[in-house]
Structure 1
Amino acid sequence: MGRFHEGEQALQRRVSPVLQQRMQKVADVVLRDHMPDQHRDFFALLPTLVVGSVDECGRPWASMLAGRPGFVLSPDPVTLHIAAKPIAGDPLERHLALDAPLGILGLQPETRRRNRMNGRVSALDESGFTVHVEQSFGNCPQYIQARAPRLVGALGTPPRQMEVAQLSPRATAMLNSADTVFIATHAANEGVDVSHRGGKPGFVKVEQREGATVLTLPDFRGNNFFNTLGNIALNPRAGLLVVDYATGDLLQLTATAEIIWDGPEVEAFEGAQRLLRLRMECGQIIEGGLPLRWSEPAYAPQLIETGSWAAG
C-alpha cells in the first residue's frame, strides 16, 4: 500500500519532480493496508460518516450516514463495520453490494480531526455493512470549520427534490453559502476516494453556462497527496455533497470535472494553487436528511490566508 497511483504521481511531478520523490518516502510511512488503533478508536466516536461510491454508469457520489457514536466500529485492523443504512433515495442505497468499492472519510468537526479509509464491501447485514480495508491514512486538520453536532431524533422518509444539470434556486443557494463540501472520485483499478474541501462561505463559485450549472472551487495548499485531483486526472468525474448544518438538508450532485492549473482565475483567488471546475449532470436534495444539527462554525485559521470570488 506504500504508493501513490499513476494519477497522483503525475500531479506531484507536475508540481515538482523533487516533490514526487519526497512524497514516495512519505507514502512508505503513512499509507497502510490496515488501520492503526487510534484510527479504529476514532471512528467509534463519530455521529456521521462520509461515504463515496460509484453508480452503474461509473458516476461517483458522496453520501453521509448518521447514528449515535459507536455505530461505526472496527473489530480488527482491516475491518470497519457500519451499523447504519443509507437514507431512502440516497444513491448509496443502490451501490451497496459485495465487493463494491467505497471511500470512507471520518471527520469530527468539533475537533477538526479526520481520517480516511478506502476499501470494499465484505458483508451486508440487517444493521448495515462491513468494509475490508485496502488503504488507510490520516489527514491534517486544515480548512475544517469547527462545529458541535446535536442529535435531534430519528428520521422518517424525508422528501427529495431532484436536480438536473441546471440547478434549482435552492441548490444554488446551498452552494453559495457553503463553507464545506465533500468530493467523491473514482479511478479504474484504484478504488473510490472521498475528501473534504473547506473555505470561506462563497468559496464555491456558481455560474450558468450553456444550459448547465458550473462550479469552480479553489484548491489550496494541502498535504500533496493529490488523492482527489489524481483520480480526476485519470477519470474526469466527481460527486459532490453539501450539508445544510442548520436544517440537516443534503445536496448530492454528480458532475464532470476539470483541473485549471493556471491563468487569471487562479491568480485572482488568493491562496489558490489551482482550480477544480465541475459541470453538473444531475443530483438531488434530501430535505432534513440527517437527524443532526450543528452549532455555528468557528472558521479554520488557515482561511485568513485565502481570498474570495467577490474580492477577486
Structure 2
Amino acid sequence: MDVYHAGSRAVQDRVGVREDADHVGRAVGEGIKPVAAAFLELQPLLVLGAADPATGAVWASPLTGAPGFVRATGPRQMSVTGGVRPADPLATALATEGTRVATIALDPRTRRRMRLNGRLRPTPRGFAVTAERVFSNCPRYIQRREAYEVAADRSPGETRRGTELTDAQRAFVESVDTSFIATVHEGEVEVSHKGGNPGFLRAPSPHELTWRDYPGNAMFLTLGNIALDPRAGLLFVDWSTGTVLQLTGEAHTEFGEDGERRVRFTVREVVETPAAVPLRWSAPEYSPANPAPAD
C-alpha cells in the first residue's frame, strides 16, 4: 500500500524527514486490529471529514452517541449508529453511497487517537465505512480531560450560517485548545487533530485563521494534501457547552527560513450550532508537549 503521495513526499523532503516518515508509515494498515476495535467501542465522539458531493467544499463534522455507537463489524469495516444533524454540511455526503471519508476517534481521557479512512455505505441505522487506511498517532498535543457526562437536557440550537467570522466566533477560535482539520487529494480524505495551549490558533480577521504547524509524526498527510489541493474544513467543539463551529475554505502553508511552518486558512463559509454536542467534559490538563503560543 502506498502511504504517501507526491504532496506529502515534497513536504517530507523539504523538512528532511523522509526516512522518519517511512518508518512511521509502516504502521498504516487496512485492517482493524482487536486493540483498535476495543478502543472504538469506548468512544462517545467520532470526527468525520469529507467533501460535499454537490459543491466540493470540504468539512469536518462531529458524531456522538453512547459508547458502542461506533464499532468494528468486520476486519475491515467500521459501523456507526446514527449520523449528523440534518442541517450539518455533511448530511448529504453521509447519505451517498461510495463517499470517501476520513474519521478520527480521539479520547481525551487516555490521550489516544485512531484514524480510519475509506468508503462509506449508508445503512438502515447509520452508515458503514470499508477501511482502506487505519493507524494511530502519538498523544502529543492532546489535552487530557478525565471524564465527561451526557447533558440529557441539552438540545441543539438553531444553526447559523455566514461567510465570515463574527467577533464572538473569532474570540472562541482563539480560546480553544483542540481543533480538527479535513483535507483532500484526488478524492481521498484525511482528518487530523491539531492542539495546543489556548492562543495557538489566531483569527486576525473575519476571513482568516492562522496557526503554527508543530512538529509531529513526520507523515505530513495534511500539509501534503494542502500542497496539492487547498480545500480544507475546520471543526471546533466547545467541550463544556457543546457548541460546534465548522468552517470551510482554502489553506496554504508558509515555510520560514528557520524551518517553522505556518498555515493560513481563508474562510469561505461558517456554520455554528449551539449545544450541538450533548457531552460536557471536565477541565483540561494541557499536554506537556504544547509550545507557548507565539505573539
Give 1:155 deviation, angstroms: 5.7
CA distance in 2, matches of 1:154, 1:32: 41
Correspondence 1:192 to 2:189: yes
1:62 equivalenced with 2:60 (yes/no): yes
Select 1:204's aligned residue among 201, 208, 230: 201
* Higher helix content, 1 or 2: 1
> Post-superposition shift, 1:2?
4.6
In structure 2, give the amino acid aligned to 1:290: V
**Equivalent residues in 2 for 1:249-288, closer than 5 Å:** 249-262=243-256, 273-288=260-275
Q: Does 1:298 align with 2:292?
A: no
List alignment gaps of at least 5 residues for structure 1: none
Deviation, 1:117, is 0.6
TM-score using structure 2 length: 0.94
User: CA separation in 1, counterparts of 2:156 and 2:24?
Assistant: 45
Q: Give, in whole Å, the separation in 1 of the partners of 2:55 and 2:86.
A: 20
Q: 1:178 to 1:25 in 2, by over 3 A?
A: closer
Which aligned pairs between 1:55-134 and structure 2 lie closer than 5 A?
A: 55=52, 56-96=54-94, 97-122=96-121, 124-134=122-132
State the alpha-carbon separation in 1 of the partners of residues 33 and 100 from structure 2. Answer: 21
Q: Deviations over 1:187-222 (max 9, x none)?
A: 114x111100011101111112xxx52111111110
CA distance in 2, matches of 1:260, 1:223: 19
Cα RMSD (Å) of the superposition? Answer: 1.6
The question of whether the paired residues in 2 share the 8 Å contact of 1:102 and 1:118 is answered with yes
Distance verdict in 2 for CA 1:67–1:290, change over 3 Å: same
State how 1:204-243 maps to structure 2 within 5 Å: 204-208=201-205, 212-243=206-237
Does the CA-based 8 Å contact 1:48-1:106 persist in structure 2? yes
Which range is displaced more, 153-162 or 33-42?
153-162
Q: Alpha-carbon deviations, 1:252-279, whole Å to 9, x = none? A: 001111101105xxx6xxxx83111101
Please say if residues 208 and 265 of structure 2, whose CA atoms lie closer than 8 Å, have aligned partners that are also in contact.
yes
Runs of 5+ consecutive residues of structure 2 not aligned to the other structure? none
Task: Give the secondary-structure state (helix, strand or coil) at the position aligned to 2:61.
Answer: strand
Q: Tell me the alpha carbon deviations over residues 41-92 of structure 1, each in whole angstroms, 9 at most, x when there is no partner.
A: 1111000000001012222100000000000010112000000210231112
Q: CA deviation at 1:25?
A: 4.1
2:276 is aligned to 289
Contact 1:40 1:77 (8 Å CA) reproduced: no
Cα deviation code 1:215-268 (max 9, x no counterpart): 1111111000111111101101210000111210000001111101105xxx6x
User: TM-score if structure 1 supplies the norm length?
Assistant: 0.90
**TM-superposed deviation, 1:125:** 2.4
Q: Which amino acid aligns with 2:189?
A: V
Question: Could you tell me the percent identity over the aligned residues?
Answer: 37
The answer to whether residue 148 in structure 2 is matched with residue 153 in structure 1 is: no
The 3 A distance-change label for structure 1 pair 83 and 155 is farther
Contact 1:248 1:290 in 2 (8 A): yes
What is the SS of the residue equivalent to 2:180?
strand
Q: Residue 60 of structure 1 aligns to which amino acid in structure 2?
A: V
Matched, 1:173 2:160: no
> Would the aligned equivalents of 1:88 and 1:158 in 2 still touch at CA under 8 Å?
no
Matched residues, number: 292
Query: Does the residue aligned with 1:159 lie in a helix, a strand or coil?
Result: coil
Supply the distance in 1 between the matched residues of 2:75 and 2:106 (Cα, whole angstroms).
19
Using a 3 Å threshold, how does the CA distance of structure 1 residues 234 and 154 change in structure 2: closer, same or farther?
farther
Aligned counterpart in structure 2 of residue 307 of structure 1, from 286, 292, 295 = 292
